[in-house]
Amino acid sequence: MFQLKTKFPENFLWGGATAANQLEGGSDVGGKGLSVSDVYIFDENTPKEHWADQWHLMTHRQVEEAQDPTSKKYYPKRHGVDFYHHYKEDIALFAEMGFKCFRMSLAWTRIFPNGDELEPNEVGLAFYDSVFDELKKYGIEPIVSLSHYEMPLHLATEYGGWVNRKLIDFYVRFATTVFNRYKDKVKYWMTFNEINCVKHHPYVSLGVVEENHPHIEQAKFQGAHHQFVASALATKACKESNPEAKVGCMISYQLLVPYSCDPDDIQKTVEKQRESLFFSDVQARGYYPAYTARMLADKNVILEVEPKDEQIMREYPVDYVSFSYYMSSAISAHPEKLEGAVGNLITGGIKNPYLPTSDWGWQIDPKGLRTALNQLFDRYQKPLFIAENGLGAMDVVEEGDLIQDDYRISYLRDHIKQIKEAITDGVNVFGYTSWGCIDMISASTNQTSKRYGYIYVDQDDMGRGTKRRIKKKSFHWYKNVITSNGEEL
């Protein structure tokens, strides 16, 4: 009756993950419009500690300057690593590693350049047809995010972003267009990447220019509500187009642990963890959890919800839950009393003295991935998909094109071991796509030199370089992991 699982399932989806805005480039071809991510600058003369500033806060002045065709600044996400022109070569390399799947996103702005057009841009649609056909040639299953930090800039500047209810219709039109177009090519969809990150960067997630915003918490939750409704309507459209298709939510999973056994730390951790899992609670269950009323009241947020919203959310919860996992963080109710405690902007927590950190201060906690898988499966009883995991690091190319990224192999190996543990715990996880299987532009810092890939791209932070692709040591290691279905790590 009880069968102990000690191996990865036969059909486990091994692969890598990317996002159009960080990968594709080609922003000036095929009629693509500007997205919110296309207006971040990178300036090598800016001190490092300020590189992520625009990720958290974007000003109207910066947005206007970026739209000025005479601006001389460098906008890395307009260029990515030029997958737009290299996709055949890149997919061939993924196939060489034995990828079973490839997580990618669609640039909304390739298909609806401004977001509010009535008809899609055929050139944009045709580009993704070619990408899907190329993947199919190698038997690689596409896993497609509809929105990965990518909404049309026009919807942010002209409509105020997701706070405006009109965004639901624009998104559903985009979603319905691509579901119908690719119904024979794509089976797995995700509606919004890291939907719970509206809390950290409302500009890039919601199109809200935060500067002097009168009530930013209200904007974040109202915007998120509109995304919940849009996601449910998109799920409905997807099922109508292809009843076999699977739609998932995607959250940034942040394992938060109490800094101490002080009851205040424990309660604070429960509250913080709920704030993060709130988003998957809504999307996986199809309704707002019981703790919502108090959470919103504490933030002085009054949500505008139409009766039909609740109905559609209940009728169309997601089929599976996907998440990114990079790190964990410790939570203290009184961080100001802890001498030398280092804060983490992303998790809102502080450093856990038991864990090492990456060069960017991200705490490396492989066992936390097992906890994450168990917690999410206990909570939702739905299939899980690990959509992102990986180590951002500076790689060095040695003579003979050698890139010895043992640190990356070690990070990934330790995490994959914990996935296997979770499978033995009884968790249903059906795939793993490590982040940035090919080097891309970093989402938060806009660097190219914060690299995650198995494939190196010869390009520096200012976009200089040949864009030549080079296999790292981890390329060969991951190929063996896939060939042995996770037995040889």
Binding site for ligand BG6 (CB under 6 A): 19, 22, 193-194, 252, 324, 388, 392, 435, 442-445, 450
Least distance (Å) from ligand BG6 to the CB of residue 297? 29
- What 3-state DSSP class applies to 475? helix
Catalytic one of 89, 122, 194, 240: 194
Alpha helices in 261-395 (DSSP H): 263-285, 292-298, 307-315, 366-380
Least distance (Å) from ligand BG6 to the CB of residue 126? 25
Of 22 and 235, which CB lies nearer to ligand BG6 in the complex structure?
22
Least distance (Å) from ligand BG6 to the CB of residue 446? 9
Least distance (Å) from ligand BG6 to the CB of residue 44? 17
Helix axes 263-285, 216-241, angle to 10 degrees: 40
Least distance (Å) from ligand BG6 to the CB of residue 79? 15
- 14 Cβ contact list (under 8 Å, min separation 6): 98, 99, 100, 101, 431, 432, 433, 481, 482, 485, 486
- According to DSSP, the residues that pair with 13 across neighbouring strands are 431
How far apart (Å, rounded) are the C-alpha atoms in residues 391 and 364?
9
**Helix, strand, coil percentages for the chain (3-state, nearest 5):** 45, 15, 40
259-293 as b/e: b if 16+ CB within 10 A: beeeeebbebbebbbbbbbbbbbbbbbbebeeebe
The torsion angles phi and psi of 364, rounded to 5 degrees, stand at -90, 120
Least distance (Å) from ligand BG6 to the CB of residue 34? 18
- What 3-state DSSP class applies to 349? coil
Of 25 and 286, which CB lies nearer to ligand BG6 in the complex structure?
25
Q: Are 320 and 385 in contact (CB under 8 A)?
A: yes
- Beta strand pairing status for 469-471 and 455-457? antiparallel
Tokens for 268? 């604070």
Alpha helices in 245-285 (DSSP H): 263-285
Write the DSSP string, 105-157. E--HHHHSSSS--SS--HHHHHHHHHHHHHHHHTTPEEEEEEESS--BHHHHH
Of 445 and 459, which CB lies nearer to ligand BG6 in the complex structure?
445
Catalytic one of 134, 141, 150, 388: 388
Of 418 and 444, which CB lies nearer to ligand BG6 in the complex structure?
444
Of 8 and 192, which CB lies nearer to ligand BG6 in the complex structure?
192
- According to DSSP, the residues that pair with 74 across neighbouring strands are 42
Q: Are 360 and 392 in contact (CB under 8 A)?
A: yes
Cα–Cα–Cα angle for 249, 171, 146, rounded to 5 degrees: 45
- Burial class of residue 381 (count of CB atoms within 10 Å of its CB; 0-12, 13-18, 19+): exposed
Catalytic site includes residue 194: yes
Of 16 and 286, which CB lies nearer to ligand BG6 in the complex structure?
16
Least distance (Å) from ligand BG6 to the CB of residue 324? 5
Of 286 and 349, which CB lies nearer to ligand BG6 in the complex structure?
349
Least distance (Å) from ligand BG6 to the CB of residue 389? 10
Would you say how long the chain is, in residues?
489
Residue sitting closest to ligand BG6 (CB): 444
Of 56 and 379, which CB lies nearer to ligand BG6 in the complex structure?
56
- Mind telling me the catalytic residues? 194, 388
